[in-house]
Structure 1
């Protein structure tokens, strides 16, 4: 295909009727029919038992009011996408961030991070003991209680200030006792049994779950700086499960980065469209 031919195709590439668009009603109206068609296809894929929710970046540095900056991501600038995927990177639901996250219909407003998880998991069958993993930006007591009432189990890293009334041993005390120390607290909140575990590895990490606890422990190898040798430390079961189940979206990102379609265009939605094509080919 010649360059002029490709430029002509790209110039007239449209996914919605501009004459039917309502200004300000939907920031994604340019690609909304295309995204809805993909969502219907992804939601029809058989769902695995273990799922994870995480953020994904569509690389983009052009001018757009939808562009976000996330310094901890490999691609810091771009469009933010919230993705529900399984351990193998298969996407079952996604939502492109447009600056505002509304409460999920039929559920109370529990904040932007909790609302997006409820929205992404709305198509997951209830009362079938599915398991959802997420990091500390999403995790909270209110979210896990709502999911557990639908018989959807959950586990995630959690920030200490999200656990009101729950106090753990100070970090420096756990560090003095050495790697592998952990502490577990349990409670019932609105009829839901919750378990919080704090584990000290190279640094402390706290996890919250409705179906997992610290036992049974397993052994992992770590390098001891003082003794200058590899030592065996104890790792709680909740940490092992989280590490094994949380990497679905990261795996998807690594596969997409290998053969990403690189396109230069002044139209902001072109980057979204070709990213979704990469996502579809990966499946």
Structure 2
């Protein structure tokens, strides 16, 4: 039969009052006594849209089932609704233990040790690139000033060597390296301060004013430097665990693509996507250039983060269960499925609030495993002795950054190879010692400058000084510090090693096994060596 309240609404055309509803219920044949339980059993509960999220609660059903339809038409219920609680999600472990086939089937071998530590750095910056620097720098200076800068590959090499030493010492001002009170002889002897600033202002690797019409690369001016470093990174063997993350090149001036990352040690600068092994060695990188960075057409539907990961993992062998780690910026199921088809395992970071109640490893435990900190380790090592330049020219900052990256990468390669070959820890150079040795080779190897004249210029001093009273005598003469042997790259390069004879008593011969004193000094190595008709330590010292 139709509901009495519905009939009343249809006759009067107005909303009935509570007294009229009660009178109609009394006059009707509906029995409300003890019908609550029966109606619950006979009529199944059908949840509406508001109850779908809380269908698991047992107390969500209405007590007045018999007048549920009527109360919906009459308006809001007079009873107070209880606040619904959020559902509690409980994760259950699968009874069948999940054991994925993630056994690594690749191999890892860095290679045999090289003759000297500097040889590792030479694989990133080969001698040919310094000649390109000299030619393009002269070309750029001629375009700007109409004159020739007359720089050479050796001067460019010395310029970078001086810059490395400056970064190692961290003086607050550059001119302090040439100041009388704080001067560094190695820097002062290599280059004048005004010449250094002139080279830093005009150094270029590509002096073209405009890029090619089909070139969409915003950093085309630095492409030769990036290619030189990246080619060596691609030659390095791949480790089982690699990590993809962002890296910032600090720079606050004008640049084609500048980024700001909040809560970053270097929040403003040029962003670079880097893939590193667990040791911290960079294996590949991609500079961020805005929309469309590293996104080919076949992966455009996956988005920027996934496309960058796929581009950086192109050099990883397929179907060998290599592991790639990345944070929540890149994590996504389409990327996981795409890497799964290539036989690459994924370790991605997700936010905790997206998996409520699921017990996962904490960030502290993941850092202890050492799989996801490769890029952070690389950033830390670069920041220790970063080559800084207060300049408005972004190419200088980018060049210095990739020199730092090459120094750290080559040092990690040198250190791990020496450890694998059982070299004593005391014989392995640390990062600072390695940088000093590279800088020393860049300053002294293959110099084009003529050797200094060993003969004194001007009127000779009197050999008989004026006698002084005992109470007026000066401090006692300190013994000269013996010279150190040069690095092997300078000692055996066979270039411009000239002997020079002095009048004073010389020092002990630096040739291994010789204990004689000599007055003959090598101009380039700055060590004393025997050179006579009976003994020729000079030739033996410079011959392998």
What's the counterpart of residue 114 of structure 1? Answer: 306
CA distance in 2, matches of 1:158, 1:242: 18
Normalised TM-score (structure 2): 0.38
- Give the direction of change, closer, same or farther, for the CA distance of 1:47–1:11 in structure 2 (3 Å limit): same
- Mapped to 1, the partners of 2:278 and 2:402 lie a distance apart of 19
- CA distance in structure 2 between the partners assigned to 1:168 and 1:122 by the alignment: 31
Correspondent of 2:282 among 91, 95, 98: 91
Contact 2:366 2:372 in 1 (8 A): no
Match of 2:316 in 1: 124
1:185-232 alpha-carbon deviations (Å, 9 max, x no partner): xxxxxxxxxxxxx5386xxx8xxxxxxxxxxxxxx9xxxxxxxxxxxx
Is 1:141 the counterpart of 2:302 in the alignment?
no
1:56 is aligned, of 242, 247, 262, to 247
Which structure has more RCO (C-alpha within 8 Å, separation ≥ 6)?
Answer: 1
When residues 25 and 255 of structure 1 are mapped into structure 2, their CA distance, relative to the original with a 3 A threshold, is: same
- Unpaired stretches in structure 1, ≥5 consecutive residues: 162-166, 175-182, 184-197, 206-219, 221-238
The offset of 1:31, in angstroms, is: 0.4
Match of residue 27, structure 1, among 199, 202, 218: 218
Counting only pairs closer than 5 Å after superposition, residues 150-169 of structure 1 correspond to structure 2 as 150-159=342-351, 168-169=355-356
Aligned to 2:509: none
CA distance in 1, matches of 2:216, 2:290: 13
In our comparison, the structure showing a higher alpha carbon Rg is 2
Q: Is the 8 A contact 1:103 1:109 kept in 2?
A: no
- Contact kept? 2:339, 2:345, Cα under 8 Å: yes
In structure 2, the partner of 1:164 is none
Residue in structure 2 matching 1:18, options 208, 212, 216: 208
CA deviations over 1:11-39 (Å, ceiling 9, x no partner) = 33111241562267321111012111211
**Using the alignment, how far apart are the partners of 2:351 and 2:303 within structure 1?**
15
Query: Secondary structure at the residue paired with 2:370?
Result: helix
* Structure number with higher helix proportion: 2
Q: CA deviation at 1:122?
A: 1.1
Residue among 220, 229, 238 paired with 1:38: 229
Q: Residue 378 of structure 2: which of 252, 258, 271 is its match?
A: 252
Give the number of equivalent residue pairs: 217
**TM superposition shift of 1:88:** 1.2
**Displacement, 1:68?**
0.8
TM-score by length of 1: 0.70
Structure 1 residue 73, shift from structure 2 partner: 1.2
User: Separation in 2 of the partners of 1:243 and 1:72?
Assistant: 24
Partner residue, 2:36: none
1:271 pairs with 390, 397, 404, which one? 397
Unaligned runs of 5+ in 2: 1-190, 410-544
The corresponding residue for 2:197 is 7
Q: Distance in 2 between matches of 1:48 and 1:249?
A: 14
Q: Which residue of structure 2 lines up, in the alignment, with residue 187 of structure 1?
A: none
The 1-side partners of 2:209 and 2:266 are apart by 35
For 2:368 and 2:197, the matched residues in 1 are separated by 46
Q: Deviations over 1:65-100 (max 9, x none)?
A: 411110121111111010000111100000111112
Please state which structure has a larger fraction of its residues in strand: 1
Q: Give yes or no for contact 2:274–2:286 (8 Å, CA) kept in 1.
A: yes
Q: Is the 8 A contact 2:367 2:373 kept in 1?
A: no
